Every structure is written in structure tokens, then in C-alpha cells.
Amino acid sequence: MVSDSFQSPYVPNTDADRRAMLDAIGVDSVDELFADVPDGYLNYDLDLPRGLDELELGRYAAELAATNCVPGEYACFLGAGSYRHHVPAVVRQIASRSEYMTAYTPYQPEVSQGTLQTAFEFQSMICQLTGMDVANLGMYDGSTSMAEAALMAARITRRERVAIVDSASPLYREVLDTYTQAPGLAVDTISASDTRIEDGTACVIVQQPNFFGYMEDLDRLSKLARESGALLIVSVDPVSLGMFKPPADYGADIVVGEGQALGVAPAFGGPYVGLFACKRAYVRQMPGRIVGRTVDTRGREAYVLTLQTREQHIRRERATSNICTAVALIALMSTVYAASFGRRGLRRIAELCYHKAHYAASLIEGIPGYSLPMRGTFFQEFVVECPLPPSEINERLLNLRIIGGLDVSGSVENGMLVCVTEMNSREEIESFAKALGEFGGGG
């Protein structure tokens, strides 16, 4: 029988190749090439499992994946910054083309026009969605986009306070705290109804729709920021911009957001793409990669990474950020997604989410013991005040193959944040409402 001794399928060198190369190098053994390692510090002790063949690993991975409860097989009403939307097959097909998937960062524009041109498409779409002048090629996720926007506002205004409206995501707020701790920026939590902010505030940050799904009064907050010389930073859900007016219409200076909703799988939290757009005047303070259009030596149009002097590889400790990732592949998915739906389709998706969420809310509001404590306009998420702790309800919902909304009882007593998108069928919504009625309904 043929031996099954281990050979990595990812390494072409055979022992004969190695021998030939070591001879050419002029050494007897590979150990001589590691002679610079101090004596006694070569440590081959490696307590790892043995390698699995493709059949074994495929089975093991499938087994792990199968222990997860998968939305789709379960009705799922979770949102809170990661949203389930239908992703057309064309998105995955194009993003898995190896010309995009296995290309390097486009530092060499002559052999990267595919990546660069799609990046230019992405920037254009983000500008069109947000109404802003310029956009970059993406940050790690929506939360780091927001934190980097706060640092950028501090650079522009030369101020050291940041005000954030208390209805923003608590997860995003934690990331803001991580990023602002070292530069020593004070973070003030304000209410959307506040009429003044601290002197010396660099920016007012607001999430739209807010963490609880409701629309904030951007006119008011914009005025509040302007009167104090602070910039307005708005963190958006891009799908909501299929129907709602963009932040630019309210005078936003920087618009950030989570791009995942545009064609990217929830994937247990990543990879996603942080959206980042701003007014033209601030472009040289932006973090991240930016692609621009220019010409080649023969006058033909082409695209190139530009304004690179902002970045770490040139400005080092004085760079606008340490980021050198562009999340280009995820940005490509969002670009193909937005192109597939187009102007009419994205509006349609936004309206579907709106109508379905409102249908769900109307059913739940009608159940004795349940209420909607918040007033105003919401998009696809809303908070339900439950008669029992949401954790208990969610546990019982799981038996019915329903993953309930997020427990937000830290913010609203017995509060559950419910998200409904086009992925939730009428049957799912009605079963969910019926189940809620059975768990503690009837007051």
C-alpha cells in the first residue's frame, strides 16, 4: 500500500529539491540556516494535534458548524449592528473570483486595475448613499470607523472632548473608549434632547437609526454641534439610506457606518467593512486607503492609491491612523450588492424591512403584557418591554426554533431589541408573536 507519511499539499519542495538547494547555498543541513538562533533556543516541542486529511477536516468542520443554531433554520430576530439580508448569488460568485480574492494590496497599479477600479466604484457608491463628497476604501468595521472619526475630528478641531448621544450602540461605545483612552480624549455621554455640550468638544456622534432602531432628530443635533464649533459625526445603517434622507442633508461632517448589511454574511461578527465618508475639506485628515483616478504615461485613464502621505508607511508616528488594511474584498461584495439592487432595489429592500418590522411591532404591541416603550419613527428595529426577563423568554423561544431579539434590559426594563428584515417571513413573524403571547402574555 502507498505510504500515508505526511506531506503538506501546500509545499512543493521534495527532499531532492531541498538537497539541491542546500548544496547550491553551500550548507549541509537546514539547521545551519538557523545558526543565528541562540544556542538552546531551537525548540521543536510542538504540542499540536496531528494533521487532518481533507476528508477528516471537512467532517470535523461540518460537525462544529452543525452544533451552531443557524438563522434560516431558526427564525432569527437579532440585529443590533449585524443584519441578515438576502445576498444575491452574483455577489458571492464575483467576490470568490481568484483575481479579486487572491490579489495583493494594489500598490502596483499597472497590475491592479481590477481591484482599483472596483474600489473607485465602492467609494462612489458610498458617496452616493451618504451624500458626502469623499469616501475611503473601508475600515475594519463600523465601530472602528466611528472611533477613528472621533480621532479625526479631534485632529481637525484641535479639541479634546468627544460627545456621543446615549442612544448609540453600547458595543460601539466600548470601542470608542478603547481608541480614546490613550490620546486622552474625554468622552461625554449626552442625551439627544440636550441643548448644550461642553466647551471644547470636537464632535457630536449620533447613530442613525439609533441602537434601538429609532430615528434621531439630526436637524437638532446638527445645530447643537454647529453652535459649539463641533463636527457632526453620523453612524448609519446603509440599507436605511435606501429610503431615508442621507446625513449630508443635515450637515454631517463625517459619516461612518457598518457596511455588512450590504451583501455581507453575518459570519459570527466579521469580516465586515467600516464605511467612512466626509466633506471634501477634510480628506487629508481621513484614515485608510483612498483610490483616485488619474492617467498613465500614454494619457489613458487609470486608478491608483492616492493621498498616501496620510498613511503609516510614509508618515509613521504622525500618520492619521495605523491602519493598512482596506477590507477591499468585503468592499467589493458591498459594491456588487448595491449594483445588483440599484436605486430601485435598495429602496425596495429598505421599505420591506420597514413594513415587516412595523407589522411585527403591531402584532407584539397588541399582546397583553407587552408594550413598545419608545416613541418616534423606527426603521427595522424596535424595543419591546416584556412581562418577563428577555433572557427567560429567549430560552423558551429556542425550543420553538426561534432566536429572539437582543436582551437590552440594561437600558430598558425587560427590554428586548427586535430586528425584522426581508429575511423574516410573515409566518416567522406571526409564530414569534404567538409564542410571546404564550410566554407571559395575558398580563
Partner 1 sequence: MTTLFERNESERRLLLMDRSRPGRLGTTLPRLDVPESDLPDGSMLRDDLELPEVSEGEIVRYFSQISQLNFSIDHNFYPLGSCTMKYNPKLNDEIASLPGFSDIHPLQPEGTAQGAIKLLWELQEYLNEITGMAGCSLAPMAGADGELAGMLMARAYHLERGDDGRKNVLIPDSAHGTNPASAAMAGFEVVSLPSDSNGNTDLDALRDSVDDNLAGLMITLPSTLGLFDTNILDVTRIVRDAGGIVYGDGANLNAIVGRVKFGDLGFDVIHSNLHKTFTQPHGGGGPGAGPVIAGPRLVDYLPTPIAERGERDGGGDERFSLKRPPKTIGRMGAFHGNFGALARAWAYIRTLGREGIPQISEDAVINANYVLSQLRGFYDLPYDRSCMHEVVFSASSLRREHGARALDVAKRLIDYGIHPPTMYFPLIVDEALMIEPTETESKETLDFFIEVMKTIAKEAAEDPDLLHDAPHNTPNTRLDEARAARRPDLRWRRGSE
Partner 2 sequence: MNPEGLKYSREHEWARSDGSGAATVGITHFAQDNLGDVVFVELPDVGEDVVQFEKMGEIESVKAVSDLYSPVSGRVLERNEALTDSPELVNDSPYGDGWMLRVEVSDSSEMDGLMSAADYTAFLDAEA
Cell numbers at 74, concatenated: 431558526
The smaller minimum CB distance to partner 1, of residues 118 and 228, is found at 118
Among 113, 117, 285, 308, binds partner 2 (CB under 8 A): 308
Q: Does 318 bind partner 1 (CB under 8 A)?
A: yes
**What is d(CA 408, CA 78) in angstroms, rounded to the nearest whole number?**
12
Q: How far is CA 134 from CA 38, 116, 121, 243, 259, in A?
A: 52, 16, 12, 21, 16
26 grid coordinates? 553551500
Distance in Å, CB of 22 to partner 2, minimum? 39
Helix (H) / strand (E) containing 116: helix 113-130
Selected from 14, 105, 181, 309, the binder of partner 2 by CB under 8 A is 309
Shortest distance in whole angstroms from residue 143 CB to partner 1 = 4
161: nearest Cα among 185, 145, 195, 144: 185
- Would you say 106 or 440 has its CB closer to partner 1? 106
CA dihedral sign, ordered 121, 127, 130, 131 = negative
∠ CA 40-46-47, nearest 5°, is 135
Residue 430 cell numbers, joined: 406571526
Q: List binders of partner 1 among 55-114 (CB under 8 A).
A: 57-58, 60-72, 74, 76, 78, 80-82, 84, 86, 88, 90, 93-94, 96-106, 108-114
Place of cell 413594513: 355
Q: How many CB atoms lie within 10 A of CB 431?
A: 16
Instruction: Please list every residue from 277 through 316 that binds partner 1, using CB under 8 A.
Output: 283, 289-298, 300-302, 304, 306-309, 311-316
Contact string 312-331 vs partner 2 (x = CB under 8 A): --xx--x-------------
- Kindly report whether the peptide bond that precedes residue 368 is cis, defined as omega within 30 degrees of 0: no
> Does residue 330 interact with partner 1 by CB under 8 A?
yes
Interface with partner 1 includes 389 (CB under 8 A)?
no
> Which entry of partner 1, partner 2, none binds 106, CB below 5 to 8 A by partner kind?
partner 1
Quick check: 426 binds partner 2 (CB under 8 A)? Answer: no
Tally Cβ neighbours within 10 Å of residue 310.
21
Least separation in angstroms between CB 228 and partner 1: 25
Ramachandran angles phi, psi of 412, nearest 5°: -130, 130
Mark 137-166 with x for binding to partner 1 (rule: CB under 8 A) and - for no binding: xx-xxxxx------x---------------
Q: Is 218 exposed, middle or buried (0-12, 13-18, 19+ CB in 10 A)?
A: buried
Decide whether 197 or 433 has the Cβ nearer to partner 1.
433
222 binds partner 1 (CB under 8 A): no
**Site for partner 2, rule CB under 8 A:** 284, 308-309, 314-315, 318
